[in-house]
Amino acid sequence: MKPYLLITFLFIPAFLLAQASEMLVTYQTDTISSYYPDDSTRNNPYMKDMCVLDVYYPVGKKDFPTIVWFHGGGLTAGKRYIPDYLKNRGIAVVGVGYRLAPNVKAINCIKDAAAATAWVFNHIEDYGGNKNLIFVSGMSAGGYLTYMIGLDKSYLASHTIDANHIAGLIPFSGHAITHFTVRKEMGIPGHQPIIDQMAPLYHVRPDASPLLIITGDRNLEMLGRYEENAYMMRMMKVAGHKNVKLYELDGNDHGQMLYPAFPLLLREVEALTAASNNKK
């Protein structure tokens, strides 16, 4: 090798080499027809159609982190998918489908989210993943589901999973108050905020998993979405939580904030994974 070629190679940034290495990894997507542990979907066509997840994972790799991803849509629309930005990153991504209102009450959306997350805890090691590195994230309604199963421990406890074993919670512009679809079911107008047991803020506690909150610009966001998430951050700190952050993505409205939020999600996963590995 000529000297100048060697020097050029040595000065290639490490992150580019890492990306090149990941390009050599083969990824596969497996579709799981039901994430409920019993056969409860057999005689329920709607559950059978909706309670499905896709596991996107690196083949032959071990101890990789996993992101459980909940789509948005106000708990009334949307479908499961694997975000393109998170592909080919050396991690697994689980795109979760869940039942939608008004076909079911909104609480069943949360129960589905918990059942899907429990499935990941129980099965990700079969794919080579590390069950101590399971992160939960989602956009809008998916952010609300992230909050609810991560902060209200009862949902995962029904599957014998401790919510505190989630490696990190990263909601994108999720409701911190009671979701507007829940309020609609209760006959409460969408502009009337309430905080009850269906509100993530009701379940503020100091021992929850690390929490990274991301929203759009406060002047462009949907209703008071930035302010309620800012209050969540403040109250978590008041309660004594030691690892909570809030990022406001200036210049981005509710829909636009999704794309610039993905690098922040990935950076948080990488940082918490490195911290976990350093404790070993």
Task: Tell me what pLDDT residue 22 has.
Answer: 58
How many whole angstroms separate alpha carbon 248 and alpha carbon 230? 9
8 Å CB contact between 63 and 243: no
The tens digit of pLDDT for each residue in 225-268 reads: 999 999 999 999 999 999 999 999 999 999 999 999 999 999 99
The tens digit of pLDDT for each residue in 92-128 reads: 999 999 999 999 999 999 999 999 999 999 999 999 9
Closest CA to 22 of 71, 84, 89: 89
How many whole angstroms separate alpha carbon 65 and alpha carbon 156? 19
Task: Tell me what pLDDT residue 5 has.
Answer: 44
Q: What is the pTM of this model?
A: 0.91
Name the burial class of residue 264, with classes exposed (0-12), middle (13-18) and buried (19+) by CB atoms within 10 angstroms of its CB: middle
Task: Tell me what pLDDT residue 6 has.
Answer: 42
Indicate the SS3 state at residue 125: helix
Model confidence at 8, pLDDT cuts 50, 70, 90, reads: very low
Helix ranges (H only) for the chain are: 3-10, 14-23, 45-50, 106-123, 141-151, 154-157, 180-185, 225-239, 258-278
Question: Which domains are assigned to the chain?
Answer: 26-278 (3.40.50.1820)
Q: What tokens does 171 get?
A: 């909601």
Task: Tell me what pLDDT residue 21 has.
Answer: 55
Q: What's 34's DSSP letter?
A: -
Average pLDDT over residues 61-65: 97
Q: What tokens does 261 get?
A: 């939020």
Task: Tell me what pLDDT residue 38 has.
Answer: 77
8 Å CB contact between 176 and 137: no
Task: Specify the length of the chain in residues.
Answer: 280
225 CB-near residues (< 8 Å, 6+ apart): 173, 175, 215, 216, 254
| DSSP one-letter string for 146-179 | HHHHHH-THHHHTTT--GGG-SEEEEES--SSS-
Indicate whether 17 pLDDT > 50.
Answer: no
Task: Tell me what pLDDT residue 238 has.
Answer: 98
